[in-house]
Amino acid sequence: MAARSHLPPTSQKASTVPRRAFLSSASAIWDALTGGPGGRARARADSASIHRGMILFRQGDVSGSLAEFDRAIELDNRQKAYLWQRGLSLYYLNRFEEGAEQFRLDVAENPNDTEESIWCFLCEARVFGVDEARERLLEVGEDPRPVMREVYNMFKYGGDPEKLVASFANGRDVEVFYASLYSGLYYESMDDMDNAKLYIVAACQTSYGSRSEDYMASLAKVHCSCRNWSFT
């Protein structure tokens, strides 16, 4: 994902980050080359809308972020298949069917995107229930990040989030963050809001969660804000 800092190259889903950055840039270049001044203006406006949407989401204005992402699609419909940020905004606006559609489009373009498969599950669990969401879980390639491989398996087969977090407790802080965040999201999909709060607040309180510019670190805080949970 273009806006996520995630893990270093040895354990990061390295193919995803540059792919999205490249495709966004390539789209803008193509417009500039083929559309003349109008194409360049549309490319700049498209990029600006996505940037504004991401800023608004980080600030907790989820509705405003979605409006900007939708504007980017209006300017260039090709962007829709890559706007994973839009899917996250849809989730927090309880527009789960649309969120699932967004994530399915994303995984169709990048079949190695573990996190979008999981977010599709999270949306579809709200629509169909956990059992059917698990049956519908999108298969993706093996994630190079050990923590995300374990997270994916937990969503795919069921598992114990407490054990997942414990298994990375002595790892790097970024791994503790991701294990905690997705454990909390797993509990939320099961309607266990007490444990969801416990783990997502814990994710916010890691040094990575509190200091990183990673979009997902911001998401953890937005999640707490949307649920009226204090994380300080």
Residues 163 and 124 both lie in one domain: no
Residues 215 and 104 both lie in one domain: no
pLDDT at 232: 83
Domain count, the chain: 2
C-alpha–C-alpha distance, residues 38 and 43, integer Å: 9
The answer, yes or no, to whether residue 9 has pLDDT greater than 50, is no
C-alpha–C-alpha distance, residues 139 and 8, integer Å: 24
Please tell me which residue, 65 or 11, carries the higher pLDDT value. Answer: 65
Residue 76 near residue 46 (C-beta atoms within 8 A) = yes
Q: Say what percent of the chain tops pLDDT 90.
A: 79
Residues 148 and 196 both lie in one domain: yes
Question: Minimum mean pLDDT among 35-39, 138-142, 211-215, 225-229: which range?
Answer: 35-39
- End-of-domain residue from the set 141, 160, 177: 141
Residues of the domain holding 87: 14-141
Which residue from 74, 64, 84, 70 is spatially nearest to 23, judged by alpha carbons? 84
Task: For residue 29, name the pLDDT band (cuts at 50, 70, 90).
Answer: very low
Structure tokens at 203: 């994710």
CATH number at residue 115: 1.25.40.10
Structure tokens at 12: 């990061």
pLDDT at 110: 94
- End-of-domain residue from the set 141, 162, 194: 141
pLDDT at 47: 84
pLDDT at 78: 92
Rounded mean pLDDT of 70-89?
96
C-alpha–C-alpha distance, residues 101 and 207, integer Å: 33
Structure tokens at 111: 């079949």
Residues 22 and 135 both lie in one domain: yes
Range 72-76 contact pairs with CB under 8 angstroms and sequence separation of 24 or more: 72/46, 72/47, 75/42, 75/45, 75/46, 75/49, 76/27, 76/31, 76/42, 76/43, 76/46
- Give the pLDDT confidence of 171-224 residue by residue, as tens digits: 999 999 999 999 999 999 999 999 999 999 999 999 999 999 999 999 999 999
Residues 136 and 42 both lie in one domain: yes
Residues 101 and 169 both lie in one domain: no
- End-of-domain residue from the set 141, 164, 185: 141
Residues 108 and 171 both lie in one domain: no
Q: Give domain status of residue 8, yes or no.
A: no
